[in-house]
Chains A and B, each alone.
Chain A
Amino acid sequence: MIGLLKAEIRKLWTVWSTYVLFAIVVVIDLLFGFALAFAPGGRHGGTAGVVPHGSTTWFINVFSVLDNSRLLALVLGAIIITGEYRHKTVTPTFLAEPRRGRVVTAKLGIGFLAGLLLGVLTMLTGLVIGFILVAVRVHSCAGLLGVSQGMSQAVCATQHGVYYVANTHDMWHDWSRIAPGVILGTGLFAVYGVGLGALLKNQIVAIVVGLLFTLVVETIVGAIWPTIGKYLPGQAATALEDAARTSFRGTTPLLSWWEGAIMLCVYGIALSVIGTLTTLREDIT
């Protein structure tokens, strides 16, 4: 099994598409993060990070949007297994390890690690966004208000009233409430993607089905039957984030974080087992 895991790691890191996917994640994180920071309601007087006092979820807003990276982790997981069929490398792979279940097991493991890495990269990007926002705030706030601001000061008074001002202390606090959940959720979503790939085998179909289910079906089910929706993969991943229950997201019922983690494992492993027993058993011709 050690050899299989090493081989899967090599497969992943010897093609440029993996690097492209990781780069896409960083770009999307930056776009989402800054878009939310500068969105109406996230700024005052044109300055990000200066909002009416009491809006203490400002950084949580910015960071929690980063959990969308799990969609790319799903794509990564699906590619790990469907890419073998797409490029017909499945023939040499199954020649070297004819017990196909072992190959899928190795892919689940490496998919999880790659997903975790994607989550870490996402939250590091979030940290960069956070530091940039604090720096921008200190600079502009000083100009805007004519008051000297220290990095740790949480509020500043102006002629319009008292304002919350983004600062590193709050940023670290909010980041630490988001990061573990996003990282674990991204890793487990890659496992879910491997499961989808094992079941559907076709790369395009697996990616389209995975994204449509997460973005469309889950949204509809969650809106109509929230008690069912909370068990679906996307909501289960959101449940991992400590801040998800106290933030603006508020009203949707969520599982506890460990229930969410178990649900995601069940999805990934159950789909993989079904796939191994059905589609992956088919003849390679």
Chain B
Amino acid sequence: MPTIQARGLTKRFGADVLAVDHLDFDAIPGGVTGFLGPNGAGKTTTLRMLLGLVTPTSGSVRIDGQRYRDLPNPTMLVGAVLEASGFHPARSARNHLKVIAEMAHIPFKRVDECLELVGLSGVAKRAAGGYSLGMRQRLDLARALLGKPDILVLDEPANGLDPQGIAWLRDFLRFYASEGTTAGRDGRIVIVSSHLLSEAQLIVDDVIVLHGGRLAAQGRLADLLAGTKSSVRVRTPDAERLVQALHAAQLPAVMQDGYVVCEGGTPEVLGPIMVNNRIEVHEMVSSTQSLESLFFSLTGGETMQEGNVVGPIAAYRRFSDGGSPPDEPPVVASPASAAPPSSVAPPPPEPPPPETPSSAPTSSAGPVRGQQ
């Protein structure tokens, strides 16, 4: 089973930039792990330390107990799609992949397979300089997949992809993460960093939340979301009676913008109260538990304090701080882990149709770096 362990991982740039600050985390195989945090949280730096491109100031991050630089042929174990990963503008996509294949002793047949997988077969002989940003992202994914690695790391992979491409990537990553399990192995680690939370919520099973270079939370996404409070907003002509009724039921209720807002309430709780009190309801909205609201509660405003963390988050933080893991990891319904065991691997998602390469001179510019 592949493992990734960061212990006391610290990176200081110059005298006063502390990009990553004593970070401890474990990546869990079998699902897609989201590496989340606002811009500047240290996501990219952490991933680059994982991949041996950036040397930690102190601490370490190990893959199967080894530093990346000590892996005998890392291409076969770890695939990485990074921002600002370059292509020679005059070299064709196929030759770009063949170079890496030669370095890692991978047969060229696999190069064509990977090009096919990401939907670039038709344009493989063209120079990468004429590729659109989305095509470059897919070429880089093809490169990362050359060694069929059990660990796949993607830094902001959605950048430059159109909605169709994002949907394809989502399906692909789910398939890839689960394929490791169904193929009889112990599972794969797929790490996706993102600051696009609504997108990440659709892909990830586990999250590692960074804030200011420190670990803000780690655990199953569903558990973390369970720890967030839902709220119900009600529009009613009898607002004052409703507030009184809710207070009588020991529920917090306040008036906001003409709505009665009940933090922590659910429609199931409020419904009977309103019926019993014969309160006329014009509208009732239950706020969804979103990664975004969790994210803001973890990283927004003031810095996270240890004492603010409750429930499963606290359990996972204790775990990640070196304590014993929770006795029973909560079972969470996620497509990757809840699917019935099957001996037949699901077919990979169809690659999107290749885009036509942009001929505009601006297309040769490097990918937009959304964050660092």
Contact = CB atoms under 8 A, between A and B. Distances in A.
Interface in A74-94: 83, 87-94
Interface residues of A, number: 28
B75 A95 contact: yes
A285 B54 contact: yes
B55 A88 contact: no
B99 interface: yes
B138 to A, nearest CB: 14
Contacts of A11: 88, 91, 99
Interface stretch (B79-87, B192-200, B242-250): B79-87
B318 interface: no
A40 interface: no
A150 interface: no
Interface in B29-78: 44-45, 48, 51-55, 68-69, 71, 74-75, 78
The majority secondary structure among interface residues of chain A is helix
Contacts of B68: 98
Contact of B88 (A87, A98, A281): A87
B257 interface: no
Nearest to B71: A98
Given A10-B95, A284-B54, A92 B104 contact: no
- On chain B, which size bracket covers the interface? 35 or more
Interface in A2-35: 3-4, 6-7, 10-11, 14-17
A87 B89 contact: yes
A97 to B, nearest CB: 6
Contacts of A91: 53, 82, 84-86
A89 B48 contact: no
A99 interface: yes
B102 interface: yes
Interface in A85-128: 87-99
Given A89-B87, A99-B69, A7 B102 contact: yes
Nearest to A100: B69
Given A3-B103, A4-B103, A7-B103, A89 B55 contact: no
29 contacts: A3-B102, A3-B104, A3-B105, A4-B102, A4-B103, A7-B102, A10-B98, A11-B88, A11-B99, A83-B88, A88-B84, A88-B366, A89-B86, A91-B53, A91-B82, A91-B84, A92-B143, A94-B53, A95-B53, A95-B74, A96-B74, A96-B75, A96-B104, A98-B52, A98-B71, A281-B55, A283-B54, A284-B53, A285-B45
Interface of A: 3-4, 6-7, 10-11, 14-17, 83, 87-99, 281, 283-285
